[in-house]
Amino acid sequence: MGFHWADGYSSTVEVFLEIDGERYRVERVGKGTFVLRDPCECPPGTAAKLIVGVDGVEKQLDIVLSHGAGQGIREAVPFS
């Protein structure tokens, strides 16, 4: 559950990339890209799920990693 503050409410948000049942933490998401917090290596065309959890409720988006992902964990990874 999120946090209540005197001037409002703050949700708890978590974002993961899931490939073959393994989850990798995502640092941030932009328009058609994301930056991984955890190291992950996969080839171009890899099917994955982008999972966004807000206050414990998860939504999933099926994506394809058009350029794959490398061991550099602070790179923007494009997806479609």
**CA 57/CA 14 separation, integer angstroms:** 10
pLDDT, residue 43, reads 92
Distance (Å) of CA 61 to CA 2, 6, 9, 35, 72: 23, 34, 26, 16, 23
Q: Could you tell me the pTM of the whole model?
A: 0.78
- Splitting the chain (80 residues) into consecutive groups of 10 residues, what average pLDDT does each group show? 66 92 91 87 92 93 88 66
Amino acid 46 reads T
